[in-house]
Amino acid sequence: MKKENCTFQHIAEALHAHQSFVIVSHMRPDGDAIGCQIAMADCLRQLGKSVTVWNEDGVPEKFAFLPESGLVTTPPDAPVDFDVAIALDTAVHDRVGTPLRAIGKVGLWINIDHHITNDRVGDLVFIDSSAPATGQILFEMIRSCGLPLTYAAADSLFAAISTDTGSFQYPNTTARTFEIGAELVRAGVNVGEISQRIYDSHPFRRIALLRELLNTLELSFDGRLATFALTGATAARLGVKPEDNEGLIDHIRAIQGVVAAVFLEEIEDGKVRLSMRSKDPRVDVSRICGTFGGGGHTLASGARTRGSLAGVLTRVHAEFEPLFAAL
């Protein structure tokens, strides 16, 4: 029977009652997605469970240093049956991607997330849109239900929370977020080492990509909207990986006077990937991304849509125009 919003205790009871689990998250995973997958997997392993962890894109290079990152693999071709499937940090169920085809018969789906636009697919659904990261939700569940928290899980949860709060800088960061950070440090997290590996250890190709993107920078609506775009040809020429563009939008979001920023990227099958950021809750990018079939948060969202870069940019401008007119 579907329970929404279920309690942590409902989820903990399901974790104890079943034996085989598969843990998934969204494609092109960020730190919150990967950190949560590793932490949840390690918790279940400590309970003596059989655990499989799949992501369509595997582990991004920048997060391969996390303990137990090797647990995350790409899915096989043939479907596998499990007692329970757990989707973490995934606003739209289909964004799990290829692992959905590899999951055969499942007795129970658990959905844990912090995106306000979550489609609430699952039997046990826990959505807390006030949480700045799904990693914060997992920490609260582990602590409140007496579940095991290993050193590996602590590192992964810290990485999850740090990356989704912009290293504890974004407006959704709360006093509780800092308290959890402190608890994770007391559990053994080396803040300096983890932060250096995440924020100060980029491959040169990422810098080369930023240089190319800044050459495409456009300001519109009296400098309140900043956009840049990446063609498939440029990505191929530079040899960049999908993870290399994570966070680059923050460079144009930080421009004085800019209220919202948009990154457009050509991807496969004639689609364009959109990443949007806003500094003002009146400019709700989750609503705009919703018109393109995506979603996320008021100040940070994404989507994928068919079309050319120029055509999609025209549609993006049309969506932002009434919002800027109302400011």
SS3 assignment, position 218: strand
Q: Determine what percent of the chain falls in helix, strand and coil, rounding each to the nearest 5.
A: 40, 20, 35
How does residue 3 score in pLDDT terms, banded at 50, 70 and 90? low
Q: Report the pLDDT value the prediction gives residue 2, as an integer from 0 to 100.
A: 58
Q: How many CB atoms lie within 10 A of CB 299?
A: 20
Residue 1, pLDDT > 70, answer no
**Structure token pair of residue 158:** 């810290």
Cβ-count burial of 238 within 10 angstroms (0-12 exposed, 13-18 middle, 19+ buried)? Answer: middle
**Structure token pair of residue 175:** 């006093």
The stretches of the chain forming alpha helices (DSSP H) are: 8-17, 31-46, 99-102, 134-144, 151-164, 175-186, 191-199, 204-214, 232-238, 249-253, 285-291, 309-326
User: Distance between CA 288 and CA 309 in Å, rounded?
Assistant: 17
Average pLDDT of the segment spanning 181-201: 95
Q: Report the pLDDT value the prediction gives residue 252, as an integer from 0 to 100.
A: 97
Instruction: Quick: pLDDT tens for 63-92.
Output: 999 999 999 999 999 999 999 999 999 999
Q: Rounded to two decimals, what is the model's pTM?
A: 0.90
SS3 assignment, position 306: strand
102 in Cβ contact with 75 (< 8 Å): yes
User: Distance between CA 20 and CA 81 in Å, rounded?
Assistant: 9
Q: What is the DSSP letter of 327?
A: -
Interhelix angle for 151-164 vs 134-144, to 10°? 140
> What rounded mean pLDDT belongs to the chain?
95
Instruction: Quick: pLDDT tens for 150-185.
Output: 999 999 999 999 999 999 999 989 999 999 999 999
User: Distance between CA 86 and CA 22 in Å, rounded?
Assistant: 6
Q: Report the pLDDT value the prediction gives residue 205, as an integer from 0 to 100.
A: 95
b/e map of 31-53 (b: 16 or more CB within 10 Å)?
bbbbbbbbbbbbbbbeeebebbb
In the chain the domains, ranked by start, together with CATH numbers, are 3-199 (3.90.1640.10), 204-326 (3.10.310.30)
Instruction: Quick: pLDDT tens for 222-277.
Output: 999 999 999 999 999 999 998 899 899 999 999 999 999 999 999 988 999 999 99
Residue 60, pLDDT > 60, answer yes
Residue 318, pLDDT > 70, answer yes
Instruction: Quick: pLDDT tens for 28-45.
Output: 999 999 999 999 999 999
SS3 assignment, position 134: helix
User: Distance between CA 108 and CA 53 in Å, rounded?
Assistant: 16
